Amino acid sequence: MSSKPMYRQIADALREQIQCGALKAGDALPTESALQEQFGVSRVTVRQALKQLTEQSIIESIQGSGSYVKEERVNYDIYQLTSFYEKLADRHVETHSDVQVFEVIAADAALAEKLQIPPGDKSWHVKRVRFIKQKPVTLEETWMPLALFPDLTWEVMENSKYHFIEQVKKMVIDRSEQELVPVMPSVDVVNALGIDATKPVLEKISRGYLSDGRVFEYSCNTFKSDDYKFTLVAKRRH
């Protein structure tokens, strides 16, 4: 009989499943109730085991969702204008988007200026949560001129917006002007991503331009800082 405390035995068993590949990066761990039943222990003991694995950065907990095997951070190359799906293509992982808001609104003066359209013109307003496997990693809020995309659909926004613009609409995307800042999460972000309300997140504000100079989107993306790293190459002026 092992002399280790039971919570450490549970942590060791889960760690072994991860190391041997039975549980892979991004996979959900069994529920606390299932672990209680499997090992015949209390919920407190199970939570001690999960806490140890979390502190060792082996797993992570998502409020209201459960615990997951921690994945390597997504590398977000600031100089490469790529979609969510393109950034993850080499990872060969399942991704999807949960569209929470899909509506047409009248642009107020502030939004009209960002989209370079007359105040009062119609704009799409879309809010979606981006997932890697079952784990929410990004909350995106986007506004797009209705005149440019009258045929935009809910289904398009469940998949790739860039694919729709380039392959269906045959428009050429030129560039995106971006601003990246750390902020405290809003209630919306906490609920969507299941994160600690006291831990900062990364917010990226961007405005995308077509090759003819028209603005095709204004977006606010909020990233969990544990899931992303941002890279750039800086050259010294000579």
DSSP 162-194: HHIIIIIS---EEEEEEEEEEEPPPHHHHHHHT
pLDDT in tens, 44-77: 998 888 888 887 778 777 767 788 877 666 555 5
Distance CA 25, CA 135 (A): 11
pLDDT band at residue 26 under the 50/70/90 scheme? confident
**Cα dihedral sign for 157, 161, 163, 168?**
positive
Distance CA 116, CA 210 (A): 12
Domain 6-69, classified CATH 3.50.50.60, yes or no = no
Most confident of 14-18, 128-132, 156-160: 156-160
Q: How high is the mean pLDDT of the chain? A: 84
Question: What's the whole-model pTM score?
Answer: 0.66
Amino acid at 44: V
Give kind and range of the element (H or E) at residue 97: strand 95-106
In the chain, ranges of CATH 1.10.10.10 domains:
6-69
pLDDT at residue 2, as a whole number: 59
In the chain, ranges of CATH 3.40.1410.10 domains:
74-230
Taking 50 as the threshold, does the pLDDT of residue 1 lie above it? Answer: no
Fold of 74-230: Chorismate lyase (3.40.1410)
Burial 167-176 (b: 16+ CB within 10 A, else e): eeeebebeee
How many other CB atoms sit within 10 Å of the CB of residue 116? 13
Mean pLDDT of 202-222: 93
